[in-house]
């Protein structure tokens, strides 16, 4: 079968690589793809991930048997809806179901209505009222843009002044465009964060190994938020007891809530959790595989990803074989100097083959192939993933491989996983 994957980052590289292991996925296409994805799939760079009609036309012209829509934007724009309307089987939630991520207000109201544990919050459509409310609050406090903002629409403010600046930037400065026209102001939950990605077919929810992401750009969780500087799985914090509690108090109630509201969620539901002293609480939902969490979770999958995606679409998840390796995985992100602010591209990359020879998998996030070789073409450039019998083994191997890769201005955090080994 011919499979088309939508997207062009490290996550899509991991998805394409895992799909390529399936005997039923005889040909893989990726739009737009990237230079690394081109190693395992035929890339169509002229079709962008947000061009829904272009994606539909491509799927038709290529006679694609199945389409995996992985990024948040095309999901929110109704890419899966349009493909299915045209009779093309697709993996991912509908635009309505994707509001679980595309609108934090939508998902917060759902949690409130159905008693799913989450942070207390207030919702504002007017900046003056938001600022006046902040005068009555204490820091630290969290300000969130309602809509999609590339994972950067959340500010954990250490002072009320910082929170006010975040509100002004979002609501008046248009920092995130329409996404920041409405804001949520939340209590700052205290605890450690873990991510639980789940396969969901609307009737059954099957969690994957829990992972931990590292959002801040510098060691010690310092500096601005990024799309993610590294991850590992499984999380030692996510004990059997917490897993059982999460399933009972969050995962199953979320599934029931979505169904009660009249929409069926089919795809990957990302559940961001804060492990508080009162138990696990929802930080946020995403409507797709996380990045870079996918780069540590999918390498641990011992079953056929393509078979699972088809089972999700067809509502057969309960009877589908899903097995996981008894190992740990760690991913180290190499970013361009200056990321997540201003950075330069076009820097020649060396050492990729050496890193792979050391036993790691190098996922390309922002690279381009030139006559001289691979060059940087994004903020997050590469994700270096290694497996090991223990978390410490995986982290050690990932860093050993990452050290072999060089480009001008390369930056990586040196403390991925260090708190939990």
Burial label for 133, CB within 10 Å (0-12, 13-18, 19+), is: middle
- pLDDT for 135-178, tens place per residue? 999 999 999 999 998 777 899 999 999 999 999 999 998 999 99
- pLDDT for 194-231, tens place per residue? 999 999 999 999 999 999 999 999 999 999 888 899 99
The H or E element spanning position 327 is: none
Nearest to 355, CA basis, from 394, 384, 388: 384
Task: Give the pLDDT of residue 151.
Answer: 73
pLDDT value at 117 more than 80: yes
68, 4 Cβ separation under 8 angstroms? yes
Which residues share a beta bridge with 143? Answer: 155, 185
- Tell how strand 367-370 and strand 279-286 pair up: unpaired
Lowest mean pLDDT among 36-40, 47-51, 223-227: 223-227
pLDDT band at 266 (very low <50, low <70, confident <90, very high): very high
Task: Give the pLDDT of residue 150.
Answer: 76
Report field, pTM of the whole predicted structure over 0.75: yes
Helices (H), 231-299: 240-246, 252-260, 294-297
The CB-side HSE value for 163 (13 A sphere, CA atoms) comes to 26
The answer to the question of residue 269 being in a domain is: yes
Average pLDDT score over the chain: 97
Region 250-266 average pLDDT: 97
Point out the domain boundary residue: 259, 293, 319.
319
pLDDT value at 421 more than 90: no
213 and 311 assigned to the same domain = yes
Q: What is the CATH number of the domain that holds 388?
A: 3.90.600.10
pLDDT value at 253 more than 80: yes
Q: 392 Cβ partners below 8 Å, 6+ apart? A: 417, 421
CA distances from 179 to 16, 101, 103, 192, 224 (A): 30, 12, 8, 27, 19
Task: Give the pLDDT of residue 24.
Answer: 98
pLDDT band at 66 (very low <50, low <70, confident <90, very high): very high
363, 36 Cβ separation under 8 angstroms? yes
253 and 349 assigned to the same domain = no
Task: Give the pLDDT of residue 23.
Answer: 97
How many Å apart are CA 19 and CA 40, to the nearest integer?
Answer: 9
293 and 354 assigned to the same domain = no
Q: What token pair was written down for 6? A: 């939508």
Nearest to 54, CA basis, from 6, 21, 87: 6
- pLDDT for 298-319, tens place per residue? 999 999 999 999 999 999 999 9
The answer to the question of residue 384 being in a domain is: yes
The answer to the question of residue 187 being in a domain is: no
Task: Give the pLDDT of residue 149.
Answer: 86
Task: Give the pLDDT of residue 225.
Answer: 84
- pLDDT for 267-298, tens place per residue? 999 999 999 999 999 999 999 999 999 999 99
The answer to the question of residue 121 being in a domain is: no
Q: Which domain holds residue 272?
A: 192-319
299 and 198 assigned to the same domain = yes
88 and 30 assigned to the same domain = yes
The answer to the question of residue 114 being in a domain is: no
263 and 340 assigned to the same domain = no
Name the domain count of the chain: 4
CA distances from 139 to 135, 178, 220, 403 (A): 10, 26, 20, 39
- pLDDT for 176-199, tens place per residue? 999 999 999 999 999 999 999 999
28, 40 Cβ separation under 8 angstroms? yes
Q: What is the CATH number of the domain that holds 15?
A: 3.40.50.20
Q: What are phi and psi of 365, to 5 degrees?
A: -110, -45
Residues in the chain: 421
């Amino acid at each position: 079968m011919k499979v088309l994957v939508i997207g062009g980052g490290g996550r899509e590289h991991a998805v394409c690589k895992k799909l390529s292991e399936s005997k039923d996925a005889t040909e893989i296409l990726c739009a737009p793809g990237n230079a690394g994805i081109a190693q395992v799939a035929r890339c169509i760079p002229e079709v962008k991930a947000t061009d829904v009609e272009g994606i539909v036309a491509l799927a038709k012209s290529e006679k694609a048997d199945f389409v995996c829509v992985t990024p948040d934007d095309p999901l929110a724009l109704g890419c899966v809806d349009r493909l299915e309307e045209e009779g093309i089987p697709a993996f991912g939630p509908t635009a309505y179901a994707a509001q679980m991520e595309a609108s934090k207000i939508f998902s917060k109201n759902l949690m409130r209505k159905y008693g799913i544990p989450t942070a207390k919050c207030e919702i504002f459509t007017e900046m003056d009222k938001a600022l006046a409310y902040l005068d009555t609050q204490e820091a630290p406090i969290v300000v969130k843009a309602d809509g999609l903002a590339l994972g950067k629409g959340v500010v954990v403010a250490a002072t009320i002044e910082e929170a006010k600046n975040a509100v002004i930037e979002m609501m008046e400065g248009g920092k995130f465009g329409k996404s920041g026209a409405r804001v949520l102001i939340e209590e700052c939950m205290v605890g450690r964060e873990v991510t639980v990605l789940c396969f969901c077919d609307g009737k059954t929810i099957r969690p994957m190994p829990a992972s931990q992401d590292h959002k801040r750009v510098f060691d010690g969780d310092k500096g601005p938020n990024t799309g993610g500087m590294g991850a590992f799985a499984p999380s030692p914090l996510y004990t059997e007891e917490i897993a059982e509690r999460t399933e009972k108090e969050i995962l199953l109630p979320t599934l029931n809530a979505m169904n009660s509201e009249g929409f069926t969620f089919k795809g990957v539901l990302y559940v961001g959790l804060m492990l508080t002293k009162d138990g696990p609480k929802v930080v946020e939902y995403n409507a797709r595989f996380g990045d870079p969490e996918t780069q540590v979770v999918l390498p641990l999958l011992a079953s056929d990803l393509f078979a699972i995606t088809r089972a999700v679409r067809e509502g057969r998840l309960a009877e589908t074989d899903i097995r996981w390796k008894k190992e740990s995985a760690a991913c180290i992100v190499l970013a361009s100097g200056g990321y997540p602010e201003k950075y330069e591209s076009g820097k020649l990359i060396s050492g990729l083959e050496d890193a792979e020879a050391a036993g790691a998998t190098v996922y390309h996030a922002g690279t381009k192939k030139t006559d001289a070789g691979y060059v940087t073409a994004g903020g997050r450039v590469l994700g270096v993933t290694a497996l090991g019998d223990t978390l410490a083994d995986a982290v050690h191997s990932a860093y050993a491989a990452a050290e072999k890769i060089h480009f001008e201005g390369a930056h990586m955090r040196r403390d991925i996983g260090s708190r939990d080994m």
